[in-house]
Every structure is written in structure tokens, then in C-alpha cells.
Amino acid sequence: MDLKGKTIVVTGAASGIGAATAATLTAEGARVVAVDRNAPDGAAQGNYARFVQADLGDPAGIEAAVEVIGEGIDGLANIAGLPPTAGREATIRVNFLGLRHLTTRMIDRLNDGASIVNMASLAGFDWANNVAAVKALLALEDFAGVEALCAAHGVDDARSYFFSKEALVVWTLMNRWTWRERGIRMNAVSPGPVETPILPDFLSMLGARAEEDMAIMDRPGQPEDIAPVVAFLMSDGSRWLRGANLPCDGGMSSHLACEAHGFGG
């Protein structure tokens, strides 16, 4: 993957998958503009050409960040996210509404041929069984309306992460051709459980369900397992992938699909 000469924005770049992605993109020759609400540590700073501090759950903060980021962007890696322990409102604001707002505000600042990669999740696997609630979230424009929407659709804190990722998967599929005339493509990556600073939050919130998934897997993923997939989607070699949701989960999505339909293996 040759990313020399490309300028790529990475959100959530201060830790976890975001930090690993920034490092991988830098190693492939890209200039990385890092966006995070937390300042990076000294070791990570070498992976960034520039750091923009922003809270992606705050529309005003997103607007300010877009102005600082500027133009001439070749890629946007939407990796910032919150675990369900952050509470349903914050989780949905950052994981979906903020991500969508940043992306749509950045479109005019992207170069033709740019790539957008959304960090979805195995948690979004079951979106087709939750269409009504997902449609309601997709229709929500007001960040202040999250609590009412969650109450109307029975979304509690534990469910909020799954819900946000279901909406993100669908939004990615919907935007398969939105900016096709400019050659701008959008895809998603869906990891399973990954050893990041927020993994303990998932285990504590989701309990037995998360433990069962972990027991099936031979190991949890590592950020370094996910970052090269994002880098590939940023490269010209992925130019014919549009609206794809790529599982990077050690086989978990295949396992769930086989189990649901009575196939072994």
C-alpha cells in the first residue's frame, strides 16, 4: 500500500485502533491529521503531522475542528468511539451522530477520489432485525433528541453501543454512491472484540454475552489487526469497494451467520 502524498484525518487517534491506524498510515507514507478529545502521549505524537483537539459528541466542537482541519484531505478514518459505559446519550452522540456530522461537514474539504472509512463493529451485525429503530436514528438531526429517541425504542445504556453501530453500518451501505461523481467512496470495517483501553468497559457492561463471545474466539483482536484493513481502504487499491462493510473479527460474523441458519463448521 503506497499512501505517499495522501493527507488522512484519523479520529480517535490518541489510543487503541485509532493510534494503531495513525501509525500504520504514517509508515505507509501518509500525512496524518489526528483528531481526539484527548491529547496524544509523546510516543504517539510522532505518527501525526498535526493534532486537532475536539469532542465529537458536541456539534460546535465538530464545526470548530472542521475549520482547523482545512482542505485538501484524501481520507477520513472515523475511528473515535465510546463504550456503553459512557451512557446511551454520549455513546450515540459520538458513535453515530457526531461521526455523521463530521463526515458531512468534511465532504467539501475532501479531494476528488478520497476515501471515507467508518469504524463499525460486530455489534452492528443484527441491524436488519432492528430496522424501525435504526430508521428513527438515521432521521434524527438534533443531538438533543437522543434521550427521547432511546426512550421511544427501548434503548438502554447496554444496547446503545449496538444501536449506534447498527445505524453506522446502514449509513455506510446507504452512501455507497452518494459522492460517486467525485470518486469519493465510503466503506466500513467491523471488528469483533479488540484489546483496547475500552474493552474492560464492554466486559463489565455486557457481562455473560461478552464472555460467551470471548470464549468462542481463539483470541481477541489487537489494534494492529485492524489498522492495515483501514490502510488498504485508504489506498487506491480499494477504489472499487463502495458501501462495503468488511468484517475483521477472527471469523465471529461468519460463526454467527452459520449458527443463525443452521450451518456447521
Residue 210 pLDDT greater than 70, yes or no: no
Amino acid 208: pLDDT = 64
Residues 6+ apart with CB under 8 A from 242: 176, 177, 180, 185, 186, 187
In the structure, what pLDDT confidence band is assigned to residue 64 with cuts at 50, 70 and 90? very high
Q: Are 164 and 140 in contact (CB under 8 A)?
A: no
| Nearest-angstrom CA–CA distance, 155 and 130 | 11
Q: Which CATH superfamily is domain 7-260 in?
A: NAD(P)-binding Rossmann-like Domain (3.40.50.720)
State mean pLDDT over 24-49.
Answer: 89
Enumerate the H helices of 28-93 as residue ranges: 42-45, 59-69, 88-92
Question: Do strands 31-36 and 245-248 pair parallel, antiparallel, or not at all (unpaired)?
Answer: unpaired
DSSP 19: H
**Would you name the residues annotated as active-site residues?**
161
Enumerate the H helices of the chain as residue ranges: 16-27, 42-45, 59-69, 88-92, 99-106, 131-139, 146-153, 157-174, 199-206, 208-216, 223-234, 252-260
Amino acid 220: pLDDT = 86
Share of the chain above pLDDT 70, in %: 94
For 69-73, the CB contacts below 8 A with 24+ separation are 69/9, 69/33, 69/35, 69/106, 69/109, 70/109, 71/109, 72/7, 72/109, 72/111, 73/7, 73/8, 73/9, 73/33, 73/106, 73/109, 73/110, 73/111, 73/114
The phi and psi torsions of 9 (rounded to 5 degrees) equal -90, 130
Domain range summary for the chain, segments of one domain joined by +: 7-260
| Nearest-angstrom CA–CA distance, 7 and 260 | 42
CA-closest candidate to residue 61, choices 36, 80, 82: 36
In the structure, what pLDDT confidence band is assigned to residue 207 with cuts at 50, 70 and 90? low
Q: Are 258 and 265 in contact (CB under 8 A)?
A: yes
Q: What is the pLDDT of residues 238-256, one digit of tens each?
A: 999 999 999 999 999 999 9
Name which of 98-107, 153-162, 194-203 the model is least confident about: 194-203
